[in-house]
């Protein structure tokens, strides 16, 4: 669901320009020329929502899956449709337009649709790994659908991912030591989980600078206090999965450029006339 904040907040790391490029790419994608082209996807989202929210149907998940499987959309667009449906269901809950039971049933059906779509599309995923991403959620977090969507989108683009439920900071630190990770994505929706969120960020911050991955944070609670996350060490706070994907992609390109030309970025500039 929307968290009512600008798409990206950056820290003082040396990747400030990334945010501006991300916003330009997002604006280009969602500008006037593309809005008309995305209308079919919006209509499909409404139809899928009607299926998964139908309290009388015994085949709601199958009907919703048939709708999206028969569409001509790409894997990314299909997952974005499911994200749109999840946001709409969340908005209904916030507006007291639906009960907790109905929301739980609808989201369970939507989860089934997502899994079937991912199984359907898994054969077409890139063989080459683009980067490594660790996705973190607190053990007490109940709203994990958005993180699952993000993980599947990253996989569709060739990322190697690991969805890690944080129950122990010690165990997280051991996981961080096992392999080189390019990006850590952390999502949390409940403000009561602020303590574990802070501990997770601090665990990543303890990694030496050359190996320390970028940290992207999202979720309702994250959006309520982005300045606190920035002070802790979060690099980017975003309000949508699409923006998170853009950040991950551009960060990986920046990282590869640094590895190819390690002295270029920080080389002194020639200021002679």
Tell me how many degrees the CA angle 241-244-249 measures, rounded to the nearest 5. 125
Give me the half-sphere count of Cα atoms (radius 13 Å) on the Cβ side of residue 257: 10
Largest Cα–Cα separation, the chain? 76
Other C-beta atoms within 10 Å of 217: how many? 27
Q: Three-class SS of residue 70?
A: coil
pLDDT digits (tens, 9 = 90+) for 174-231: 888 877 889 999 888 777 778 888 888 889 988 887 788 889 988 777 777 788 888 8
pLDDT of 126 reads 58
**83: exposed, middle or buried (C-beta count within 10 Å: 0-12, 13-18, 19+)?**
buried
pLDDT digits (tens, 9 = 90+) for 140-166: 877 778 888 888 888 878 888 888 888
pLDDT digits (tens, 9 = 90+) for 98-138: 888 888 888 888 888 888 887 776 655 556 667 899 998 88
**How many angstroms separate the CA atoms of 253 and 235, rounded?**
16
pLDDT of 49 reads 93
């Amino acid at each position: 669901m929307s968290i009512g904040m600008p798409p990206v907040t950056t820290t003082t790391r040396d990747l400030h320009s990334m945010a501006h490029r991300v916003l330009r790419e997002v604006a280009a994608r969602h500008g006037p020329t593309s809005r008309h082209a995305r209308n079919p996807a919006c209509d499909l989202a409404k139809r899928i929502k009607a299926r998964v929210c139908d309290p009388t149907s015994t085949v709601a998940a199958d009907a919703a899956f048939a709708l999206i499987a028969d569409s001509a959309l790409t894997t990314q667009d299909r997952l974005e449709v499911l994200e749109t449906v999840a946001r709409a269901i969340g908005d209904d809950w916030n507006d007291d337009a639906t009960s907790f039971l109905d929301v739980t049933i609808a989201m369970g059906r939507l989860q089934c649709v997502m899994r079937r779509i991912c199984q359907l599309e898994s054969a077409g995923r890139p063989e080459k790994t683009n980067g490594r991403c660790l996705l973190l959620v607190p053990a007490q977090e109940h709203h994990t659908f958005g993180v699952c969507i993000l993980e599947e989108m990253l996989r569709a683009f060739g990322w190697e991912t690991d969805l890690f439920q944080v129950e122990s900071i010690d165990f997280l630190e051991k996981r961080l030591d096992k392999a080189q990770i390019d990006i850590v994505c952390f999502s949390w929706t409940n403000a009561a989980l602020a303590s574990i969120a802070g501990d997770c960020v601090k665990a990543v911050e303890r990694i030496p600078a050359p190996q320390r991955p970028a940290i992207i944070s999202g979720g309702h609670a994250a959006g309520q206090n982005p300045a606190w996350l920035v002070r802790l060490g979060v690099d980017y706070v975003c309000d949508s999965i699409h923006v998170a994907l853009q950040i991950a992609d551009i960060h990986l390109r920046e990282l590869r450029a640094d590895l190819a030309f390690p002295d270029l970025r920080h080389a002194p500039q020639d200021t002679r006339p």
